[in-house]
Chains A and B, each alone.
Chain A
Amino acid sequence: MRFLTSIFQKGPANSASGEISLQGGQKKRLEQTGNRIVMVMAVIGLTYASLGGKLIWLGMQEESELASRRIVDRSTSATRPNLVDRNGQILAMDIKMASLYAEPRRIVDPDEAVELLATVLPDLDYKKIYKWFSSDAAFKWIKRELTPKQQGDILALGIPGIGFRSENRRFYPGGPTASHILGLVNIDNEGISGIEKFLDDNGLADLHKAGFAIAQDLEPVKLTIDLRVQHAVRNELEKAIERFRAIAAAAVVIDVDTGEIRSMVSLPDYDPNNPVDASKPDRLNRMSAGLYEMGSTFKAFTTAMALDSGKIAITDKFDARKPIRIGGSTIKDYRGKRRILSVPEVFIYSSNIGAAKMADKVGIPAQREFLTRLGLLTRMQGFELPEVASPTQPKKWRKVNSITIAFGHGVSTTPLQTAVAAAALVNGGKLVRPTLFPRTKDEAQKDAPQVISKKTSDLMRYVFRLNSLKGSGRKADVPGYLLGGKTGTAEKVVNGRYSSEKKFNAYLSAFPMNKPKYVVLVIVDEPQPEEGRRFSTAGWNAVPTLGAIVKRVAPMLGVKPDFQERNTAILSSY
């Protein structure tokens, strides 16, 4: 620094005293030149030093900072993360597909170009293409989404005036297997339903707008579903639809402690790779977006309510000998026992009269409060899929409403909510929010409200199991897995009246009942009696379907079979 200032000081001092010191002029000039050289060298030295410094700085940079300086090309705006199942199997991914275009102005010989192209892509409309090629147009798409092999073959032809643009396309290797969960994307690769839409609504769309969604930087998104289980469930439901000639079937498998959905299938579905059917009304996700009167499966909630209220003990008895007449309608039992029934008997024989009397004893406000507490009457909050229906209930609960709701008529709710509430009945009383993203038990139970007492939950496990051993769930008893559940056969409303022809059947179950791990709910919509049989109640279709599902998926879910002998005499002593 002192060196520089001395240079500048010398300059003006020099010119001022130039005339006085004439004899020293020669010497002065030499001195001046020497100083200038030093100055120039200093500047050059500084320049090189700064270049060297910059080099060192570049070498020290972290890679990620450099990566963020990458140029964002046009196709990145459509990049989406892979979706994988809980084991890392790919459910959805982006693949780059080449699309072929032509710039007819630059095509030299249209005849040759068409002839050559036809060797690789024989099924194009070449009359039209010949017209294009001979025209003076600037740009024409010839074919979108070619396979890599076709692209290579066309490149090898060496036709001037044609080229490729690569486009991201969403690909679902499983086809329809998990269609309702994954959802769909539109032509611009933006999510329009299912988890794809959820991702866009939760940050991905903003990333796209900012241009930061670069394929390599996007972590795959892991879901809770297990592809193997998902396939097995779907396969069994397909068989069920065929066997019982039903119009639809659906099922869900939920972990009772974490609320993780291991599988959710609704048939009929669609192929997300070619979603021409996706918007048809019968392709809705019946599990979360379908509203149904759940029928007798609701008696599980009525029983839990009765036991949890403290007003009814499990040993109490109800007179189910006579039908109840109220407001011009008669409440009867389907193949009723016509005797006095205990609480577990009301449950396993699915007595409408018994359930109505239980609800009556608890009272209308308490019943309404209990069902709301279980989340059955309000729209499901916090679930990832956008396709969620809002349950309906009567505006004013009169006695007749209370009675019919006790056995599952008069309120409509989604099957998924029913399964979630059932999980609370058997897991010790915690209402765990369902989710499609992995989480631990602690995370799940931290904010889960206690909706029924532990004691009620224990009693519910007992009546569920009893129904599987002696009641309507007999056809689903998979040895070793201690299945328990409640069937429901609801008559569907046709033109404002309950139809005895069209049924909505369900089997709500959990296993293993000594320490429940999973809730499984199967619904079968409008099943017909099987060939050579007369019945189409839930015990004949939903129950065996669920049994087949559990038999297949329980080993995959890691539930160890238990063949220990149990004293069933104690069970039936109530």
Chain B
Amino acid sequence: MIKSSDVVLTGLMIVAAVWTFQVKFETKISARKVADLQKSISKEDDRIDILTADWAVLNQPSNLQIMAERFGEELQLQPLEIEQIATLDELPPMKVVEDPIGAIATEAGEIDTMATGSIKRAAE
């Protein structure tokens, strides 16, 4: 004497059981994945530590000084002089040259005496 409600309930039970097992299985897979990831993270962390240590050694002022002394000539490096430290308003005003080409010519002493129409005549 099987009622329709029994069939429905049995079906539900089977579905629930299958679903439970599936969740359990997926959890197991995820847990393994998490463990794997954690392992590789800690491995990666250790490698980062080693690289950080490496960088700290290479970036050591004592190391940089040796490098600067060895390659200073080629790279044209020089120690900072205190006189080179200044703020913007301590700098002397820049010389503004209005007629750069004319200034070069004046300096070289090569003034063309010939006056053309484009040049105003000097007041005589």
Contact = CB atoms under 8 A, between A and B. Distances in A.
> Are the chains A and B members of one assembly?
yes
Given A174-B60, A174-B62, A235-B65, A560 B52 contact: no
B47 A148 contact: yes
Contacts of B16: 48
Interface in A525-574: 551, 554-555, 560-561, 563
Contacts, number: 65
A177 B85 contact: no
Given A89-B56, A94-B49, A148-B50, A235 B62 contact: yes
Contacts of A561: 82-83, 85
B49 A177 contact: no
B77 interface: no
B106 interface: no
Given A96-B46, A231-B61, A480 B83 contact: yes
B115 to A, nearest CB: 49
Nearest to A479: B82
Interface string B15-54: 0100000000000000000000000000001110110110
A177 B64 CA distance: 13
A27 B26 CA distance: 46
B52 A555 contact: no
Contacts of A90: 52-53, 56
Interface residues of A, number: 33
Contact of A173 (B47, B57, B65, B80): B57
A232 B61 contact: yes
A228 B59 CA distance: 10
Contacts of A95: 46, 49-50, 53
A51 to B, nearest CB: 9
A426 B3 CA distance: 101
B62 A554 contact: no
A173 B50 contact: no
Q: Is the interface of B mostly helix, strand, loop or mixed?
A: helix
A341 interface: no
Given A94-B49, A96-B46, A173 B85 contact: no
A358 interface: no
A481 B46 contact: no
Contact of B61 (A37, A94, A227, A551): A227
B18 to A, nearest CB: 14
Which of B50, B52, B56 gathers most chain A CB within 10 Å? B56
Nearest to A216: B45
A551 B82 contact: yes
Nearest to A90: B56
B122 to A, nearest CB: 44
Contact of B53 (A89, A93, A177, A231): A93
Contacts of A227: 60-61
A554 B81 CA distance: 11
A513 B50 CA distance: 45
A480 B90 CA distance: 14
A93 B45 CA distance: 13
A240 interface: no
A171 interface: yes
A347 B33 CA distance: 76
Interface string A89-108: 11001111000000000000
Contacts of B62: 174-175, 177, 231, 235
Contacts of A554: 82
B45 to A, nearest CB: 8
Interface in B75-107: 80, 82-83, 85, 87
A216 B83 CA distance: 46
A481 B59 CA distance: 29
Contact of B56 (A93, A148, A228): A93
Interface string A230-267: 11100100000000000000000000000000000000
A401 B19 CA distance: 94
Nearest to A37: B9
A478 interface: yes
A230 to B, nearest CB: 8
Contacts of B61: 177, 227-228, 230-232
A177 B61 CA distance: 9
A173 B60 contact: yes
Given A479-B82, A480-B82, A555-B85, A89 B65 contact: no
Most chain A beta-carbon contacts within 10 A, residue among B9, B45, B52: B52
B64 to A, nearest CB: 9
B52 A93 contact: yes
A377 B27 CA distance: 69
A267 to B, nearest CB: 14
Q: Which of B50, B61, B85 has the most CB of A within 10 A?
A: B61
Contacts of A555: 80, 82, 85
A168 to B, nearest CB: 10
Interface string A147-160: 01000000000000
B102 to A, nearest CB: 36
A171 B50 CA distance: 10
Contacts of B60: 173-175, 177, 227, 231
Most buried by A among B9, B45, B50, B83: B50
Contacts of A231: 60-62, 65
The 7 closest A-B pairs by CB, nearest first: A173-B56, A231-B61, A90-B56, A173-B57, A96-B46, A480-B82, A561-B82
20 contacts: A93-B56, A95-B53, A148-B46, A148-B47, A148-B50, A174-B56, A174-B60, A174-B62, A175-B62, A177-B60, A227-B61, A231-B61, A232-B61, A235-B62, A235-B65, A479-B83, A480-B82, A554-B82, A560-B87, A563-B83
Given A227-B60, A480-B83, 15 more contacts: A90-B53, A93-B52, A93-B56, A148-B46, A148-B50, A174-B56, A174-B62, A177-B60, A177-B62, A230-B61, A231-B62, A235-B62, A479-B83, A555-B85, A560-B85
Interface of A: 37, 48, 89-90, 93-96, 148, 166, 171, 173-175, 177, 215-216, 227-228, 230-232, 235, 478-481, 551, 554-555, 560-561, 563
Interface of B: 9, 16, 45-47, 49-50, 52-53, 56-57, 59-62, 65, 80, 82-83, 85, 87
